[in-house]
Amino acid sequence: MSIPLRVKICGVTQPDDVRLCAETGADAVGVNFHPDSPRYVDPRQAMPLLKAIPPLMAGVGVFVAQPMRQVCALAYQLGLRGVQWHGENPETADPFPFALIAAFRIKDQAGLTRITNFLAACAANGHQPAAILVDAFVEGQMGGTGHKAPWDLLADFRPSVPLILAGGLTPENVGEAIRLVRPAAVDVASGVESSPGRKDPDKVRRFIANAREAAASL
């Protein structure tokens, strides 16, 4: 039995945008705790945003290069379901009870080898991340750039855990990306915004509808 495609809307900064994502059928929202991001949310001011997440939607915290122990401590304080970790040297420690999404920026085959080696190291430690997220490689930036990941390179890549496709997705191209890469989930931030951190209702609705339609056609 195939598993339905999941949709994550990342970089929410307003409770109304969380409610919009829930009403339009998103499975998860991402809250960015990286201070250098234009979508940064101060953890001390995050509670109204997180309280808007309905019980059957996942709230995922986005972190960059923070030690996993600190990440899990904040996730516990905020009541997050999952943590998405970006950085050059991802830890292979098990962050249970939090679902770990390990993010990788990809530009060539070496990037895919890095993912495979990471998953093997996790397996050697007796666990696997919940998923890996593949984004475009842009020098000096960890995500949310609007640049596309290398879809052709990913078309035949089948890691041992679910693959989440990010990077440059929009309502107009998400269908093509899904048909080519066949990911378990898609993740979008800038592609559904009117400005950084503010979601455009029409773009969110069209993105989710087009993603669902493409997945159903496979």
Q: Which residue type, as a one-letter code, is found at position 130?
A: A
**C-beta of residue 79 within 8 angstroms of C-beta of residue 52:** no
Q: What percent of the chain has pLDDT over 70?
A: 94
**Residue 2 confidence class, pLDDT cut points 50, 70, 90:** low
The reply to whether 148 falls in a domain is yes
So which residues are the catalytic ones?
Answer: 10, 135
- Do the domain assignments include residue 119? yes
Reference 9, options 46, 60, 43; nearest CA is 60
Residue 116 lies in a domain: yes
Work out the average pLDDT over 54-63.
95
User: Residue 72 to residues 42, 148, 155, 162: CA-CA distances in angstroms?
Assistant: 16, 30, 33, 21
- How confident is the model over 167-182, as a mean pLDDT? 96
Lookup: tokens for 58? 């996942």
Q: Region 117-143: what's the mean pLDDT?
A: 84
DSSP string over 55-106: TTSEEEEEEES--HHHHHHHHHHHT-SEEEEESSS---S--TTSEEEEEEEE
Residue 1 binned pLDDT confidence (cut-offs 50, 70, 90): very low
pLDDT, the chain, mean? 92
CATH code, domain with 200: 3.20.20.70
Query: Which residues constitute the domain of residue 13?
Result: 6-217
Q: List, for residues 10-22, the tens digit of each pLDDT value.
A: 999 999 999 999 9
Q: Does 15 map to a domain?
A: yes
**Which of 119, 57, 61 minimizes the C-alpha distance to 70?**
61
Distance CA 143, CA 84 (A): 11
Mean pLDDT across the stretch 68-93?
Answer: 91
All residues at 6 or more sequence positions from 155 whose CB lies less than 8 Å from its CB, including other chains: 180, 181, 182
Domain annotation covers residue 142: yes
pLDDT in tens, 139-158: 555 555 567 889 999 999 99
Averaged over 174-191, what is the pLDDT? 96
pTM of the model: 0.93
Check pLDDT > 50 for residue 84: yes
Gap between the Cα atoms of 175 and 204, Å rounded: 14
Q: Which residues pair with 83 in a beta bridge?
A: 61, 100
**pLDDT > 60? residue 170:** yes
- Number of structural domains, the chain? 1
User: DSSP 3-state helix, strand, coil percentages of the chain (rounded to 5)?
Assistant: 35, 25, 40
**Cα gap 1→6, rounded to integer Å:** 15
Q: What is the mean pLDDT of residues 183-204?
A: 96
Across the range 204-212, mean pLDDT stands at: 97
pLDDT of residue 145: 56
| Cα–Cα distance list, 108 to 105, 142, 191, 217 (Å) | 10, 16, 23, 29
Kindly calculate the radius of gyration of the chain based on its CA atoms and give it in whole angstroms: 16
How many C-beta neighbours within 10 Å does residue 129 have? 25
pLDDT of residue 93: 81
Q: Domain for residue 1, yes or no? A: no
The stretch 31-42 carries a mean pLDDT of 95
Task: Say which residue, 94 or 111, is predicted with more confidence.
Answer: 111
